[in-house]
Amino acid sequence: MSIRIDGVTKQFGNFRALDNVSLNVPQGSLLALLGPSGSGKTTLLRIIAGLETADSGNVFYDEQDVTSRSARDRNVGFVFQHYALFRHMNVFENVAFGLRVRKTPKAEVNRRVEELIGLVRLSGMERRLPSQLSGGQRQRVALARALAIRPQVLLLDEPFGALDAKVRQELRQWLRRLHDEIGMTTVFVTHDQEEAFEVADEVVVMNKGRIEQLGSPREVFEHPANPFVMDFLGHVNVFSGRVQNGKAHWGGVEVAYPDYPHGESRDAAVYVRPHELDIERLEVEGSIRIEVKRVNPAGAVAKVYGVSVDFGSDVHVELTADRYAELDLREGEVVYVAPRRVRVFLPEYSI
């Protein structure tokens, strides 16, 4: 089933949770709603499920308007952040709940529940109560329960947020595989960009009730639409520069910026990711001087923290281990930093 959101707005008191949001989720896709707290991602998910009603705008399932249809009748599978398992029911009864309230025949209930418990790899734990399960197991029960009613769309609210790092990693892989197997349209909410990129086909970056960018993980990461997205998707160095005549300048660095062909000079923000900076001992063209303050070689990349000699701003560089070993940097030494790639944003897009 495909989902279409058309011009949805939602206000809570003085707080505008969603501001005229439109979005298409094609049949069978796995989409992540990514954004910081208060960006409206959870509200959007709840409006898709029918748990909140939009102040204006419409929700379509397969081009059928379901805006006024009750959540009960939408037949969606929903997984809550904190699982929301029925604590007095065992695993079997939790999964069977949706079937029981639909008065499904007993034999059918047993068959379907066993099948789902097998699918989430909890066979043998049917009689356990939620309190006797680990976090990851609870999450899988919640998923099986949501799938029991054969939903046409699966919605997950921060599905891995309450789990520890290792379990989270396993469940991500597992959710991806599960989606590939059953191919159900799936939307999940997360504030963790790594999680969104790893699991989803499409990522929707949200901020302040609006969609900032929509695209594949690669598109969004490589071509962030604006400073917010750039900033949200990982560490970034921000420098203030100017644009004029199709070029952007910052310190001694000049890069092409065809989007601004005008003669009048304007302030602009120049964004460079740490791993897109190179360090050289000798001055190269288009570089700035930094004094190395601290190096942290632990991990897959070596992190170098420095301060620009000419502007005084912090500069953060990531080097490969090989390059780091080759350079043999000392704290306190002055080196040249050259960007391989920069992104320039004009101030109307400022965060």
Partner 1 sequence: MSRRILPGFKFSLGFTITYLALLLLLPMAACLYKASALSSSQFLGAVWTPRTQAAYRFTLEVSLWSASASVLLGLLVAWVLVRYEFPLKRVFDSLIDLPFALPTAVAGLVYSSLYVKQGWLGQYLVPIGIEGAYSKFAVVLVLTFLGLPFVVRAIQPVLETIDADTEEAAFLLGASRLQTFFRVIFPAILPATVTGFALSFARSLGEYGSVVFVSGNMPFKTEIAPVLIVSRLEEFAYAEATAIAVVLLGLSLAMLLVINQLERWSTSRAT
Partner 2 sequence: MQPSKQLKPAAHGFRAAARRDPAWVRWLLTSLAVAVVGVLIVIPVTHVFYQALKPGWATYWNNLTADADTRHAIMLTLIVAPSAVVANVLFGVVAAWAIARFRFPGRTLLVSLIDLPFAVSPVVAGLMLLLIFGMQGVLGPWLREHNIQIVFALPGLILATMFVTMPFVVRELLPVMEAIGDEEEVAAVSLGANAWQMFWRVTLPNIKWGLLYGVILCNARAMGEFGAVYVVSGRIERQTYTMPLRVEKLFQDYDNPASFAVASVLTFLALVTLLVKVVLERKTQGELAEVAALRQPGEQV
**Interacting residues with partner 2 (CB under 8 A):** 12-13, 15, 17, 37-38, 42-43, 46, 50-53, 71-72, 81, 158, 161-165, 191
Pair of tokens at residue 108: 């059918």
Q: How far is it, in rounded angstroms, from Cα 39 to Cα 189?
A: 11
Assess 86 for contact with partner 1 (CB under 8 A): yes
Report, in Å, the least distance between residue 295 CB and partner 2: 25
Residue 295's identity, in one-letter code, is V
Q: How far is it, in rounded angstroms, from Cα 140 to Cα 133?
A: 10
Closer to partner 2 by Cβ: residue 52 or 339: 52
Closer to partner 2 by Cβ: residue 160 or 239: 160
Report, in Å, the least distance between residue 130 CB and partner 2: 17
Report, in Å, the least distance between residue 51 CB and partner 1: 6
Q: How far is it, in rounded angstroms, from Cα 16 to Cα 216?
A: 27
Of 24-32, 92-100, 239-247, 337-345, the window that binds partner 1 (rule: CB under 8 A) is: 92-100
Contact yes or no for 95/141 (Cβ under 8 A):
yes
Closer to partner 2 by Cβ: residue 57 or 286: 57
Assess 87 for contact with partner 1 (CB under 8 A): yes
Nearest to 111 by CA among 122, 127, 124, 95: 95
Closer to partner 1 by Cβ: residue 93 or 192: 93
Nearest to 39 by CA among 238, 259, 229, 239: 229
Q: How far is it, in rounded angstroms, from Cα 51 to Cα 72?
A: 9
Question: How many C-beta atoms lie closer than 10 Å to residue 27's C-beta?
Answer: 13
Cβ density class 178-195: b for 16+ within 10 Å, e for less: bbeeeebbbbbbbbbbeb
> Residues 148, 178, 187, 230: which binds partner 1 (CB under 8 A)?
148
Q: Residues 218-247 vs partner 1: string with x where CB under 8 A? A: ------------------------------
Assess 309 for contact with partner 1 (CB under 8 A): no
> Residues 35, 40, 98, 209: which binds partner 1 (CB under 8 A)?
98
Q: What phi, psi does 221 have (nearest 5°)?
A: -75, -45
Of 3-11, 76-84, 275-283, 333-341, the window that binds partner 1 (rule: CB under 8 A) is: 76-84
Nearest to 349 by CA among 207, 215, 204, 249: 207
Q: What phi, psi does 326 have (nearest 5°)?
A: -65, -45
Report, in Å, the least distance between residue 26 CB and partner 1: 23
Q: How far is it, in rounded angstroms, from Cα 54 to Cα 72?
A: 16
Of 23-31, 143-151, 190-198, 214-222, the window that binds partner 1 (rule: CB under 8 A) is: 143-151
Closer to partner 2 by Cβ: residue 57 or 161: 161
Interface ranges with partner 1 (CB under 8 A): 49-51, 71-78, 80-82, 84-89, 97-98, 100-102, 131, 145-146, 148-149
